[in-house]
Structure formats: C-alpha cells, structure tokens
A and B are shown apart, each in its own frame.
Chain A
Amino acid sequence: MEHLQVFMDTVVSRQDLLIERTIQHLYLSFIAILIAVGISLPLGIYISRNRKVAEFYIGITAVLQTIPSLALFGFLVPVLGIGSITALVALIIYALLPILRNTYTGITGVDEGIIEAGEGMGMTQRQILWKIQLPLSLPFMMAGVRTATVLTVGVATLATFVGAGGLGDVIWRGLQSWNNSLVLAGAIPVALLALLFDSLLKFVEKKVTPKGIKY
C-alpha cells in the first residue's frame, strides 16, 4: 500500500510532465506510423506487381530491422543531429518491414484463380488491384500496421536519447534518480498506449475485413 501511495503521489506531483510527455510520445508514434504506412503501402503494392525486385526491397527493410534500436538512434545522430526528426526517422525505419511484408504477402496471396477470372472477364489491371487485390489483402495490411504500431510505441521510449522527449524521458529520469515510481509512471502509460492502439486497430482490422471472407 505504501508503494502504491508513493506511486500515486509521484503521478499527481508530476502530472504536467506526464501529460506533456504522453502527448509527445503519441505524436512521435503517430507521425512515424503515418509516414511508414505512406511509404510501405505503395511500395508493397509496387513490389507485388514487380516481383523480381520484391526480395530486394524487403531485404533492405529486413536489414534495417536487425540494427539494434539503441544503436540505430546512435547512428543517426551524427547525420541528422538530435531532435524529433532523428527520432522519427528511426521509428519510421522500424515500422517499414511489418507493413511492407504484410502488404506484399497479402496481395501476392490472393488466389490466382480469382485474378484469372477477373482478367478473363475483362477487368483492367487497375480494376483488379482496386476491386480484387486490395480488398482481399486489406486484413493482412491492417495486421502489418498493427504490428508496426505496437512496435513503434515501445521503441519510441528511446527517443529520449536523441532529445526528442516522449515517455522515455520520464523513465530515464526515474532510472537516473533511482526513483522506481517515476520509472513506472513512464512505463505504464507506454504499455497502456500499446494496448490501446492494438485493440483499436484490431477493431479496424475486423471492420475492414470484407464480409464473406473467413480466415
């Protein structure tokens, strides 16, 4: 009980900081995901139609994914300096692979028979993409976005090391001052945000899954 009391006191006394950093955290994650989606979805569609280059692009994002997150932030500082731009670039790089790969798998996984029927009926390539491939692969794409989002919300705690703020600030301050309550006050919102986004996107995923498809 005593610990809980201390924790609650910390939250109350630091609420301004917590709110500000949560908003920062949300902002970083949200913008990063948005841009990552903006890059990966079109790229995924492109490589699904030019399969010879698919391995190449997926390979690049996979290699980027293997760089330890802390190291990636470190690499970027000499190039981009410190600040939210550096944090965003790192977060975007991390979010690319899940979205790209799921988009590619989703589109290329559409039953060949359906595509052939579409072609045979006189649908143009554009119509096949919009009326067949995209609706049928939407659940896959959304699953990719979901994975990327949860990942990004977690990794965004590292933004503090490049001076971009976020809830990582709170955690780091707590760690430096041996204040476990403060660490928790930073870490719990991160977990909650990840869960919130995950369930929100799960809901969207269900909504966009076309009726008539049972996976």
Chain B
Amino acid sequence: MLITFDHVTKQFEDGTIAVDDVSFSVAKGKLVTLIGPSGCGKTTTMKMINKLISLSSGSITIDGTDISEQDPVELRRNIGYVIQRIGLLPHMTIEENVALVPKLKGWKKEDYQKEVDDLLDLVGLEPSTYKKRYPLELSGGQQQRIGVIRALAGKPPIILMDEPFSALDPISREQLQDELKLLQKNIQKTIVFVTHDMDEALKISDEVIVMKDGCVQQIATPDTLIHQPSNAFVRSFIGEDRVKQAIETTSKRQASSVMLPLTAEVLQESTPRLPDSSPLQEVAKMMLTSKANKIILMAADGEATGWIAKDQLLKELAGIDMEVI
C-alpha cells in the first residue's frame, strides 16, 4: 500500500499550524518513522492517515484513492493502530481484544479464532495460556505485544504505530523493537511509526522522516541520515556523537571484516594488495590512487586472504544494504 501525502497542512481551530505543507510517500511494505521533538506534528501527521484528525488542505492518498472520499470507519478497519497507552479493552479477554477488528469486519468464528492463535504464536505467547486471560493479568511488555497483534488482526495492509514502545521498560522496549523488525521482514506491512527516540528510529526504520515545527526536515534511510544530515537541526537531533561515530566506525572497520573469499580468477589479475588489517578508509584510498576496481588483501605473512570489490566497498561505507548484480 502506497501512502502519499501531497502538500498536506493541518491548522487547528485555535490557529496553530501543526503540519505545514508536508509531502512524502511511503512505499508498500516499508517501515517509515516520523521523528522529531514534541510538538513537531509527527503524531498529527500520522493521525491524519486514519482520519482521527482531519486535514486542512492538501490530500492524502492510499494506493491512489483519496482518503477524503472514504468512510472513516471503513478506512480504519483496514489500518491497524497501535498507541502508546496500549488501549486494550480491560473487560475483554486477550482473545476478544485481538478478534475485535476481524469481528467488526464480519469474519466467521473459525477464521478469527485461527487468526488469534496465529498472531499469538507470532509474538511467542502460547495461545492456550493467554487467550482467556484479561489484559490486566499481563505485564506491560506482554500487553503491548497484544496491542501490536491486535493491530495486525484482520490483515490490514497498513499499520500506524504511535510511540508504541516508549512507555515500556528498556528491556521490553528492545525486545519489542527486535520483534517488530523480524515481524516486518515476514509480514511486509506498510508501517508508519511515530517516535521521538532516535535510537529506535535508526534501529527499525527503512526510512526516517525528520520533522520540526510541522515541516519535514529530511527524508532518508537511517544510514544516509547519519552520514548526511541535511541541515543543522537534523544533525543536532541525531546527535553530533552519533554522526561522528557512524562515520568513524564504518571507515575504520578492518578490511578483513568485509572481504570476499578468493577465487582463482581474482588472483590471476594484477591487483593492488593491502594488509587485511587495514581500515576501509585505506582500502578506499588505494582504490582511488591506483584506479583499481579490486583490492586483494593479505595476512601479515604476505599470503592473500581475500579481496574487496569497489561496489562492495561503496555499499559498506555508505551503509547501503542491497544486492549488487
């Protein structure tokens, strides 16, 4: 599901402009984070997607359909929603909570019961143990796991998450972030995630949208964001330390950590050689000075141990994780 914001502005009744001429799009199956200091309009931006907040001007389309033409109730049943305060219905069992949207959508009993079991399995909560329990009998971390799978129930293609992990203890938070990342790999939902925690954003996102005072400051992958913050605000929001650290750590990594196994073919060519303990920075310098596309790496005794191609070095330094054909 492709979500597109086209010059979206939100002005509240009291005159404050919460979101100011924002345009971006979220590709299908991607996890995009909206981040910024409090009051930057990130939550407002997200809540306009499921029409919990109406927009003042501009348009939001989902897969080409303008949401203003859609019935809010119908729209929301196809968009999962996870909030910071979890919001499980305390008078309903876990099973009833998770089955809520499928039931609203009119699923058959067997279907939604199977869905509940599958989803509980997905987050590692044994269905037979947890189904009949009530939310208050669960720990905070478990409750938010239920919050997440409740949003997945009914198979919505889009999930909105409003600071879902920020009220949890650090250990549960880390766990849930890991689980979400893993989950996202398997289920490929389009997720819009609001947070104010940069570590969280960098860890889980495919793309990060940094906002300030209702305006988008930068849209980039986590790696690009750290390596090339677009302005002083983004740089300071990421944190000077993180920026420097990121550049230093990648360029100082030992060449041996990324080298490929040798092939006879590579060895035959007259390729420049470097010790495999050299930092990637050195490898890059060597490539530039010798205009070579490959570098052979060798151990302290001079024996070749592996090699690095230019493409691969570029990927490593820029932190791009993609297949090169």
Contact = CB atoms under 8 A, between A and B. Distances in A.
A207 to B, nearest CB: 13
A131 B85 CA distance: 19
Nearest to A123: B104
B90 A212 contact: yes
B90 A116 contact: no
- Say which size band chain A's interface belongs to: 20 to 34
B87 A114 contact: yes
Contacts of A114: 87-90
B52 A113 contact: no
B52 A116 contact: yes
B47 to A, nearest CB: 8
Given A121-B104, A122-B76, A214 B86 contact: no
Contact of B87 (A113, A135, A212, A214): A113
A113 B136 contact: no
A114 B104 CA distance: 16
Interface in B114-147: 134-137, 147
A212 B52 contact: no
A213 B136 contact: yes
A214 B136 contact: yes
Nearest to B100: A121
Contacts of B73: 122-124
A132 interface: yes
B92 interface: yes
A112 B162 CA distance: 14
Nearest to A135: B91
A182 interface: no
Contact of B90 (A118, A120, A124, A136): A136
A211 interface: yes
Interface string B76-110: 11110101111111111100000011001000000
A52 to B, nearest CB: 15
Interface string A115-131: 11111111110010001
10 contacts: A115-B87, A117-B147, A118-B87, A119-B52, A121-B81, A122-B74, A136-B91, A210-B91, A211-B134, A212-B136
Interface of B: 50, 52, 72-79, 81, 83-93, 100-101, 104, 134-137, 147, 150-151, 160
Interface of A: 111-124, 127, 131-132, 135-136, 210-214
Given A111-B87, A113-B87, A120-B79, 7 more contacts: A120-B76, A121-B100, A122-B74, A136-B90, A210-B90, A213-B91, A213-B136
